[in-house]
Amino acid sequence: MTIQWFPGHMAKARRQVTEKLSLIDIVFELVDARIPASSRNPMIDEIIKNKPRLLLLNKADMADPKITKEWLEYYKENGVHALAINSQAGNGMKQIVSESKLILKDKFDKMAAKGIRPRAIRSLIVGIPNVGKSTLINRLAKKNIAQTGDRPGITKSQQWIKVGKELELLDTPGILWPKFEDQEVGLKLATTGAIKDTILNLQDIAVYALRFLEENYPEALKDRFNLEEIPEDIVSLFDEIAKRRGSMMSGGLIDYDKTAELIIREIRTEKLGRLTFEQP
Ligand SMILES: Nc1nc2c(ncn2[C@@H]2O[C@H](COP(=O)(O)OP(=O)(O)O)[C@@H](O)[C@H]2O)c(=O)[nH]1
Ligand SMILES: [Mg+2]
């Protein structure tokens, strides 16, 4: 999957979400708990308008629990309904249903008062690529409907998935684009694996990640790479990591690309523990 968004793609993605909005009661906006701001679509408010929304911080199992709590408090203070979930393990699935019922209580009460027969809440998942949309759909459906990972999905007509008696979900999610203009946002998306490495320079990503770790998670950095102290300059830090891991070229020169790749891979596979890259 290479994400190359062009204005045409963006317009199409936007149109597809807009078309589905009329069918549903609530939008589940999926973001990555490690980068709750950077993994949002910059135009989401404009696209969704005043359709009721539940923000889902997915991959919470990979995020720093302390900061996730801060994000949830921040959303609460700002009147945003939000939950931290783990779609892979299925944590938070029941809360999605109960929170949706709460958000839509007034609407459904009014419908009942008009004598309209009670029905299930209709929902749609939206989010940027790789945030876990297909994984969440499969979790809620309790079977494999959507393709996960890097494989391209097979296009088929959309259908409603029943999630118990109270919720229905469109089986094709709305795919949105991330923010690209901001360099730091791009680096965060790359560090967490939301966008392919080929878009940005591998060493740039690793330098960003190391500086971030140095600042925010120095102990994790030291522990993982057996460092007594973190060297002042970034090249020395690279060198130390490379030497410890033997990522050298012939002649004893440091292989910086290989070292960068190793650093990024270990962050993505949680070898440095649970990390969050931005705070509210
Ligand atoms: N650790 C963890 N991994 C997840 C979670 N949700 C999805 N993933 C993984 O993230 C990757 C992308 O998921 P996918 O559902 O294909 O994302 P989509 O592009 O939004 O449909 C897959 O490798 C999933 O296994 C989660 O809550 N926790
Ligand atoms: Mg998918």
Structure token pair of residue 92: 């938070």
Which of the four pLDDT bands, split at 50, 70 and 90, describes residue 139? very high
| Per-residue pLDDT reduced to its tens digit, 11-58 | 888 999 999 999 999 999 999 999 999 999 989 999 999 999 999 999
Give the Å distance between the CA of 118 and the centre of ligand 1: 33
Pairing of strands 26-32, 82-84: unpaired
Q: What is the mean pLDDT of the chain?
A: 92
Index of the ligand 1 atom closest to the CA of residue 85: 27
CA–centroid distance, 140 to ligand 2, in Å, is 14
What is the arithmetic mean of pLDDT over 126-136?
96
In this structure, the residue with its CA closest to atom 2 of ligand 1 is 59
For residue 165, the SS3 value is: coil
Can you tell me which atom of ligand 1 is nearest the CA of 147? Answer: 16
Distance of CA 142 to the CA centre of its chain: 21
Residues 226, 62: Cα–Cα separation, whole Å: 22
CB neighbours (10 Å) of residue 26? 22
Question: What's the CA angle centered on 135, arms 80 and 124, to 5 degrees?
Answer: 45
CA of 219 to the centre of ligand 1 (A): 27
With contact defined as beta carbons under 8 Å apart, do 220 and 273 qualify?
Answer: yes
Distances, alpha carbon 111 to alpha carbons 105, 107, 115, 116, 229, in Å: 10, 6, 7, 5, 64
**Looking at residues 99-111, what average pLDDT do you find?**
96
The answer, yes or no, to whether residue 225 has pLDDT greater than 50, is yes
Q: Which residues pair with 105 in a beta bridge?
A: none
What percent of the chain clears pLDDT 90, i.e. is strictly above it? Answer: 78
Atom of ligand 1 nearest to the CA of 60: 27
Each residue of 143-158: pLDDT tens digit? 777 777 765 555 556 7
